[in-house]
Amino acid sequence: MYIEVNGVTLYYEVSGSGPAILLVHGNGEDHSIFNETAELLSEDYTVYALDSRGHGKSSRVKMLGYEVMAEDVAEFVRKLKLEKPCYCGFSDGGIIGILAAVRYPEVFSKMVFCGANAYPQGLKWHWLKFFALQEAINHDPKLLMILREPHITVKELESIPVPVLILAGERDMVRESHTRYLASKIKGSCLKILPGEGHGSYIVHSRKLYYFMKKFLERPIPLEKYI
């Protein structure tokens, strides 16, 4: 399905029934990485798996930025009149989720951030070097975005009001100290460093993600979160 939001056309697929949950992929990917997760979630949720702008079947764009992509997902929720959906984002999708939680705190009810970073140096140095080399060769705006963004402050992380689950692999491209930093600044967040897992090994065409997030999604939201 297609929807016009924020000046671009986004492609998305819908499955299941029940409370809404959005799934947003990482850099250079599309919604299909979540096929196995969506299949399991669809037993209890209405799953919206998106292609971000510049990815998959969504609009091609010359310039990309995490801020405008966060605006995309917020407008997606509003246009479809989704009632306080949950959100799960991987890598770039996690960054988009963090920014959406900061900029649009009223939109989502629960959020899962997988392999996310608050600034480029949150990535391990050899990955930054690899992306810089690839960008110099290919001049890919998606890689340039990784190297230049995001720039999420401590104050912004501390402002996130919704329940958050932070996931990262033991062998993630994001530094473990940085993942722990995110968890320390997002109030009341839950953190899971997953033994033996890499950046996307538990997410991309894997059923594991569902089981890592299942209990978190099922947990009642404290009453004070609604007040």
Note the pLDDT tens digit of each residue in 12-45: 999 999 999 999 999 999 999 999 999 999 999 9
Note the pLDDT tens digit of each residue in 99-134: 999 999 999 999 999 999 999 999 999 999 999 999
Question: Does residue 120 have a cis peptide bond before it, meaning omega lies within 30 degrees of 0?
Answer: no
Cα 220 from Cα 168, distance rounded (Å): 23
Residue 227 binned pLDDT confidence (cut-offs 50, 70, 90): very low
166-172 mean pLDDT:
98
The percentage of residues in the chain with a pLDDT greater than 70, rounded to a whole number, is: 97
Please determine, for residue 221, whether its predicted confidence score (pLDDT) is greater than 80.
Answer: no
- Residue 226's pLDDT is 43
Residue 225 binned pLDDT confidence (cut-offs 50, 70, 90): low
159-164 mean pLDDT:
97
| Beta carbons of 114 and 89 less than 8 angstroms apart | yes
Cα 38 from Cα 48, distance rounded (Å): 8
106-26-177 Cα angle (round to 5): 80
205-209 mean pLDDT:
98
Provide the mean pLDDT of the chain. 96
Set out the domains of the chain in order of their start, with CATH numbers.
2-117+154-217 (3.40.50.1820)
The amino acid at 163: P
Cα 41 from Cα 63, distance rounded (Å): 33
| Beta carbons of 72 and 45 less than 8 angstroms apart | no
